[in-house]
Amino acid sequence: MFKGSIVALITPMRPDGAVDEAAYERHVDWQIESGSSAVVPVGTTGESPTLTHAEHRRLIDIAVGVARGRAGVLAGTGSNSTAEAIATTRHAREAGADAALVVTPYYNKPTQDGLYRHYMAIADAVDLPLFIYNIPGRSVVDMGVETMARLARHPNIVGVKDATANLLRPLQIRRAAGSAFCQLSGEDGTALAYNAAGGSGCISVTANVAPALCARMQAAWDRGDVRDAMAIQERLLPLHDALFVESSPGPVKYAASLLGRCGEICRLPLAPVADATRAQVRAAMEEVGLFG
């Protein structure tokens, strides 16, 4: 269903802290023109925890409007409230999104049975393809392979964004859930290794500032040109590293600002990135060749 380079969109902010809708529209359009196969509005990289419900819905609407007919839209609709996740997923369906990305509930620390019931409730309530977003580093909980395989039996639960950085997972999930279950990496640095273990693409932070390179890398892998794909991955590695020296999306929004794509502002509690981070991000962008 989804494959290749899929961008986890940043949400541009104006100096007063309001969402910069014009910059956001331009950013989505640039991503698609640069080869991103799909866009992910209002995920973690889009600062979904600090958006109002109205802003969240509006950003999905804009992404669908810009992308329609040109790229897929995998809308972030997760919440640690099951009822709220259902409501947001329902809106994504009505807006015309192709699928929903639903993060494992954060802070609540549900059991595996709680995770199962949460996703089943959403999948039963809304007729839209759902991707599980498993990111233990932010949500604290880690969905087990057995739980994911149980969920994969539901016709609306079609895949996973795996941000565990555990390269055994795609092999284990493929064996437990079957090859039709779509597996996407959530870690730029392991994108190609994840594909080799059974994945079909990456939901990328780096693509916000290097969309063409990320798309070329995935396309090279898809056509079997492993040497070219690896060369691009090695070229991108300093940028992958630099964009996570502080909590995302601080570094990537600073990088986008250097390209003139948008301002660097993040909403509190994310602070402006440190001077050392700025220097590392700029150096990585120069090394990759993003300014030339």
Residue in 119, 161, 253, 254 annotated catalytic: 161
133 is catalytic: yes
pTM for the model stands at 0.96
pLDDT at site 214: 98
Instruction: Answer whether residue 69 shows pLDDT above 90.
Output: no
In this prediction, residue 35 carries a pLDDT of 98
User: Residue 156: its pLDDT value, please?
Assistant: 98
Give me the long-range contacts of 280-287 (CB less than 8 A, separation at least 24). 280/242, 280/245, 281/242, 281/243, 281/245, 281/251, 281/254, 281/255, 282/258, 283/238, 283/242, 284/238, 284/239, 284/241, 284/242, 284/243, 285/209, 285/239, 285/242, 285/255, 285/258, 287/238, 287/239
The tens digit of pLDDT for each residue in 225-273 reads 999 999 999 999 999 999 999 999 999 999 999 999 999 999 999 999 9
Band (65; pLDDT cuts 50, 70, 90): very high
pLDDT band at 5 (very low <50, low <70, confident <90, very high): very high
Q: What percent of the chain has pLDDT over 90?
A: 99
Please provide the average confidence, as pLDDT, over all residues in the chain.
97
Q: Are 50 and 18 a contacting pair, CB within 8 Å?
A: no
- Calpha distance 146→180 (Å, rounded): 16
pLDDT(292) > 90:
no
Helices (H), 34-81: 53-67
* 1 pLDDT higher than 90: no
**Of the candidates 262, 192, 229, 285, the residue with the CA atom closest to the CA atom of residue 45:** 262
Instruction: Give mean pLDDT, residues 148-162.
Output: 98
Give residue 167's pLDDT band: very low, low, confident or very high (50, 70, 90).
very high
254 is catalytic: no
Mean pLDDT in residue range 122-138: 97
Q: Identify the active-site residue in 24, 116, 133, 254.
A: 133
For residues 84-107, average pLDDT = 98
CA contacts within 13 A on the Cβ side of 239: 27
pLDDT score for 22: 98
In CATH terms, the superfamily for domain 4-223 is Aldolase class I (3.20.20.70)
